[in-house]
């Protein structure tokens, strides 16, 4: 699995790029691409099928947050931000622009590898899993078809990044049950000791933006104050 994965490292600090490249190759990832500016990254993405992007926030030609939406126009690759910023606002900005995860500098390069491997395991489960029976979760306004790996809202296909899909699928399989953020981190991300609860909050928002009439006034994916979230049958049409 590892040697068939194309990874792009985007950072203007060559020492960090070289360290990550060396570590990734030792971990079995042989197809490593390197970019030192945001524009170089865009050019590489136009020519290659990249599955994982390690993206520094501070680049010489702009912010990684600014480049992330441009990257999302080209690929649904897993985006892992490298950032020296640790405030909640910075983290939420990264997720809002299309990122999937982040690590803060200084970081252990093995943690980066662990997150990538966890992502690939989750992706492989989606690609190889065949339900024993038709698994469609019909909530009226939206339908999640597990067999096809599709989300339809009012009959229209809606793009759903891997992690958003996995979280929604888990909630669809357990309707009307309350889950804390910690529960969801452990069940869906599988590496709760790496991630934090902001990760869940932002992905909940991403789901609501897809399935709710008004994401700010959800009818399906509800917040239960002090306890967590639950997915219920709503009255939206």
CATH number at residue 211: 1.10.10.10
Is the whole-model pTM more than 0.85? Answer: no
Mean pLDDT score, 98-103: 80
Contacts of 222 by beta carbon, 8 Å cutoff, 6+ apart: 229, 230, 231, 232
Q: Are residues 118 and 181 in the same domain?
A: no
Q: Are residues 104 and 37 in the same domain?
A: yes
Beta-bridged to residue 230, according to DSSP, are 222
Cα 45 from chain centroid (whole Å) = 18
**Model confidence at 45, in pLDDT bands (50, 70, 90)?**
very high
Peptide bond preceding 110 in cis form (omega within 30 of 0): no
- What pLDDT, on the 0 to 100 scale, is given for residue 193? 46
Separation CA 180–CA 229 (nearest Å): 6
Q: Which of 1-5, 43-47, 134-138 is predicted with the least confidence, judged by mean pLDDT?
A: 1-5
DSSP SS3 for 138: strand
**Model confidence at 160, in pLDDT bands (50, 70, 90)?**
confident
For residue 101 the two structure tokens come to: 């995860």
Q: Are residues 123 and 181 in the same domain?
A: no
- What pLDDT, on the 0 to 100 scale, is given for residue 120? 84
Q: Are residues 22 and 123 in the same domain?
A: yes
Share of the chain above pLDDT 90, in %: 47
**Could you tell me where the beta strands, DSSP code E, fall in 39-176?**
52-56, 58-59, 62-63, 78-83, 101-104, 136-138, 142-145, 150-153, 156-157
Number of neighbouring beta carbons within 10 Å of residue 214? 9
User: Quick check: is 96 in a domain?
Assistant: yes
198-213 pLDDT tens trace: 778 888 998 999 999 9
Closest to 220 (Cα-Cα) out of 168, 185, 179: 168
**Model confidence at 143, in pLDDT bands (50, 70, 90)?**
very high
Q: Which residue has the higher pLDDT, 188 or 3?
A: 188
Separation CA 2–CA 183 (nearest Å): 28
**Model confidence at 134, in pLDDT bands (50, 70, 90)?**
low
Structural domain boundaries enclosing 196: 136-231
Q: Are residues 114 and 17 in the same domain?
A: yes
- Asked if 145 contacts 157 with a C-beta cutoff of 8 angstroms, the reply is no
Strand 228-231 with 221-224, pairing: antiparallel
- What pLDDT, on the 0 to 100 scale, is given for residue 2? 59
Separation CA 172–CA 182 (nearest Å): 18
Mean pLDDT score, 87-110: 73
User: Quick check: is 237 in a domain?
Assistant: no
Separation CA 78–CA 81 (nearest Å): 10
For residue 132 the two structure tokens come to: 């024993």
User: Quick check: is 197 in a domain?
Assistant: yes
Q: Are residues 15 and 124 in the same domain?
A: yes
Last residue of a domain, one of 75, 101, 128: 128
Closest to 86 (Cα-Cα) out of 61, 106, 108: 106
Q: Are residues 100 and 148 in the same domain?
A: no
- Asked if 86 contacts 104 with a C-beta cutoff of 8 angstroms, the reply is yes
Mean pLDDT score, 128-157: 82
Mean pLDDT score, 80-105: 72
Q: Are residues 201 and 101 in the same domain?
A: no
Q: Are residues 121 and 198 in the same domain?
A: no
**96 pLDDT above the threshold of 80:** no
Count up the domains in the chain and report the number: 2
User: Quick check: is 236 in a domain?
Assistant: no
Q: Which of 6-10, 43-47, 71-75, 169-173 is predicted with the least confidence, judged by mean pLDDT?
A: 71-75
Q: Are residues 171 and 95 in the same domain?
A: no
- What pLDDT, on the 0 to 100 scale, is given for residue 194? 54
User: Quick check: is 219 in a domain?
Assistant: yes
Residue matched to tokens 């590496």: 191
Last residue of a domain, one of 128, 148, 178: 128
Last residue of a domain, one of 70, 103, 128: 128
* CATH number, residue 53: 3.40.50.2300
């Amino acid at each position: 699995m590892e040697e068939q994965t194309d990874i792009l490292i985007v950072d203007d600090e060559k020492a960090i790029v070289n360290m990550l490249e060396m570590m990734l190759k030792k971990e079995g990832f042989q197809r490593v691409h390197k970019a030192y500016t945001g524009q170089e990254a865009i050019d590489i993405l136009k020519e290659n099928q990249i599955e994982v992007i390690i993206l520094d926030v501070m680049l010489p030609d702009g912010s990684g947050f600014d480049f992330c939406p441009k990257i999302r126009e080209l690929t649904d690759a897993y985006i892992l931000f490298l950032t020296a910023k640790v405030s909640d606002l910075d983290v939420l900005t990264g997720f809002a622009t299309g990122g999937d995860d982040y690590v803060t500098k200084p970081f252990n390069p093995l943690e980066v590898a662990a997150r990538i491997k966890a992502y690939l395991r989750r992706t492989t489960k989606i690609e190889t899993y065949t339900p024993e029976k038709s698994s469609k979760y019909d909530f009226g306004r939206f339908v999640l078809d597990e067999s096809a790996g599709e989300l339809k809202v009012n009959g229209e296909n809606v793009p759903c990044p891997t992690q958003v899909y996995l979280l929604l699928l888990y909630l669809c399989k357990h309707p009307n049950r309350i889950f804390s953020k910690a529960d969801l981190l452990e069940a869906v991300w599988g590496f709760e000791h790496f991630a934090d609860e902001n990760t869940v909050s932002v992905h909940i928002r991403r789901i609501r933006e897809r399935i709710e009439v008004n994401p700010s006034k959800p009818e399906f994916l509800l917040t239960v104050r002090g306890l967590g979230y639950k997915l219920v049958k709503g009255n939206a049409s």
